[in-house]
Structure 1
Amino acid sequence: MKQSLQGKKVLYIAPRFFGYESEIRDELTKRGAHVDFLLDRPFDTPLLKAITRVSRELVIGAADRFYENQLESLKGQDYDYVFVINGQTLSSVTLARWHQYYPRAKFVLYMWDSFGNRRWAVDNLNYFDVKFTFDREDAKAYGLNFRPLFFSSGFEASSQVAIEWDISFIGTAHTDRYAIASKVAAALGKKSKIYWYLFLQAPWVYWLYKISNRSFREAKLTDFKFSSLTKSDVQSIFNASGCILDIEHPKQTGLTMRTLETLGARKKLVTTNQSVRHYDFFDECNICVVDRWAPKIPSDFLTTPYRDIDVNIYHSYRLEGWVDEIFQVAQR
């Protein structure tokens, strides 16, 4: 049974992420909530996004002013929940102010980045009543609720689509992803049909990485794409792929959204994330865990059929299951 939010008022803050922020808002609304939405990381240019990642302190003053201006029109609201995903540009000043504005609200945090990548987030924990993370190790270290990510309905399997690629990868080419994708391609050989969409925010990011990132030494500008795909495009590529490659950030152990999307699409997965072995949907028939620097994929992995998992486990990883779990805990 879906967790009802009938009549609840929710101030919801999340970053733009392939439209997932809108799907979450829509799911809250479907359950009867009145939702006001504010952007986390409300800067759209590649340069400002990069600055936010590298040195959050340089933009936090501007973010404080942005939220103060946005909330002028929301001061009179009596929220039941302030629901934050990540909160990368939420300072202690802003969070303390919100507690003054909305003293009755329950503050709920969901982290879909690891604290290894977002160390500032640890300082924000005291401002939240209910705290979740997608990273099992962070949950243990900081005493948080552990809840993996989810897949949305658009990724649920479509058996009528012809397979065009043996394996595909779609993702931002941060850290060592380019090098690992190249090693996987080499391990599979030229006979495999491979689709890589390695995204960078702008050509200048490529040139910066060329200087600063050792794994880009052999990279060419033409190896990368500089326009992001829509979620519909990603879903189409998923449906036309027999297997999906997943490369998690080296500083995280939590499962990426890509892993859960692969589960939703009932596709095979090749991943560098060793921790996937500890999840209830893990099946060696469906998931090949490879060494980050020496990936080896069994010759029959891409050709043997996918094996369905238990239907209850499958449904628990849908967006609906994610919202259920978070707000069941929040309503206690």
Structure 2
Amino acid sequence: MKYSLQGKKVLYIAPRFFSYENEIRDELSRRGAQVDFLLDRPFDTPLLKAITRVSRELVIGAADRFYETQLESLKQQDYDYVFVINGQTLSSLTLERWHQYYPRAKFILYMWDSFGNRRWAIDNLKYFDVKFTFDREDANKHGINFRPLFFTSGFETSPQSAIEWDISFIGTAHTDRYAIASKVSAGLDKEAKVYLYLFLQASWVYWLYKVTNRSFRSAKFTDFKFSPLTKGEVQGVFNASGCILDIEHPNQTGLTMRTLETLGARKKLVTTNQSVRHYDFFDENNICIVDRGAPVIPDKFLTTPYRDVDGDIYHSYRLEGWMDEIFEVAQR
């Protein structure tokens, strides 16, 4: 831990995402910060989450009222930092109010989604003093800091963990993920042990995708799961897998959280993300890049052993290394 936050007050806003919001909050507290947490996208039902994703304008008024109510008890706080992850439901009205409430605070934004998927976020950039994105192309285009995502300690495992699956995939079945995962599975040797957990938020999402998503035309209801795995369950599958399949959203070039978790677990990676070859941990022995339309894994890739990466590089992708870099820039 390079950067202490001892005695600092932080207003922290993040979406609920497999408890990562809690792990970030805990790391802030571990460094000595007094943290007040507000939920980004404060709507818990699958329907409202879907509406927020598809048409943010329909929920932004309700979000403004939510934040105004929540901040009634926090207006008098003298925050050192307002730290926002994504800020999907933060409007210009809310951000302007916060600047009035907390004129001394340094506003930090970290985007873990691409601007191609969150175009409204570009308009929010002017409200932040320090801006980061996980997407190198977005960083270059908008002149902001580039910082990849991270993995947390639960994904670190010993090489002696028993292997149950040759390759596994866990993720939301958006866009073309179902089609790609199915092609990868079908292209493997019939003796290969494959674990697929294709998650949909509700059964109605499946029926909607059957009509609107061409890759779902041959999909069966039983191909999908409608309850998310806990982070502990995800970690358990990682530990029992020799290789992890990663399929990024087609509108992003930044590395997914899954990619960094695979690094943390010291597992081999099969990914459709071509940009991974430009990262300092890339090793063709460990990472196989496949074409989205015709994903083919070389026969020997799944059977050759993993080759460990440099220790300093490995540490830089831990949650601790991620936060060190953010507050190194923020404290300049």
TM over 0.5, yes or no?
yes
What secondary structure, in the 3-state scheme, does the structure 2 residue paired with 1:189 have? coil
Q: Quote the Cα distance in structure 1 between the aligned partners of 2:253 and 2:189.
A: 29
Residue correspondence of structure 1 range 257-268 to structure 2 within 5 A: 257-268=257-268
Contact 2:159/2:266 (<8 A) preserved? no
**Would you say 1:114 and 2:120 are equivalent positions?**
no
Q: Where does residue 289 of structure 1 map in the other structure? A: 289
Q: Quote the Cα distance in structure 1 between the aligned partners of 2:330 and 2:179.
A: 41
Give the TM-score of the pair, scaled to structure 2: 0.99
| Deviation string, structure 1 residues 118-138 (Cα, Å, up to 9, x no partner) | 000000000000000000000
| Deviation string, structure 1 residues 46-95 (Cα, Å, up to 9, x no partner) | 00000000000000000000000000000000000000000000000000
Q: Where does residue 165 of structure 1 map in the other structure? A: 165
Q: Quote the Cα distance in structure 2 between the aligned partners of 1:309 and 1:157.
A: 14
Residue correspondence of structure 1 range 1-332 to structure 2 within 5 A: 1-332=1-332
Any gaps of 5 or more consecutive residues in structure 1? none
State the 1:2 CA deviation. 2.1
Any gaps of 5 or more consecutive residues in structure 2? none
Q: Percent identity?
A: 85
Give the TM-score of the pair, scaled to structure 1: 0.99
Aligned residues between the structures: 332
State the AA in 1 paired with 2:224: F
State the AA in 1 paired with 2:310: D
What secondary structure, in the 3-state scheme, does the structure 2 residue paired with 1:17 have? coil
What secondary structure, in the 3-state scheme, does the structure 2 residue paired with 1:131 have? strand
Measured on the aligned residues, the alpha-carbon RMSD in Å equals 0.6
State the 1:159 CA deviation. 3.1
Q: Quote the Cα distance in structure 1 between the aligned partners of 2:291 and 2:140.
A: 25
State the AA in 1 paired with 2:254: G
Q: Quote the Cα distance in structure 1 between the aligned partners of 2:138 and 2:93.
A: 24
| Deviation string, structure 1 residues 269-291 (Cα, Å, up to 9, x no partner) | 00000000000000000000000
Q: Quote the Cα distance in structure 1 between the aligned partners of 2:174 and 2:68.
A: 32
Q: Quote the Cα distance in structure 2 between the aligned partners of 1:161 and 1:275.
A: 29
Q: Quote the Cα distance in structure 2 between the aligned partners of 1:103 and 1:258.
A: 37
Q: Quote the Cα distance in structure 1 between the aligned partners of 2:127 and 2:187.
A: 47
State the 1:256 CA deviation. 0.1
Contact 2:14/2:87 (<8 A) preserved? yes
- Runs of 4+ in structure 1 deviating by more than 2 angstroms, as ranges, are 158-161
More divergent stretch after superposition (229-238 vs 151-160): 151-160
Q: Quote the Cα distance in structure 2 between the aligned partners of 1:20 and 1:190.
A: 36
State the 1:162 CA deviation. 1.0
State the 1:105 CA deviation. 0.3
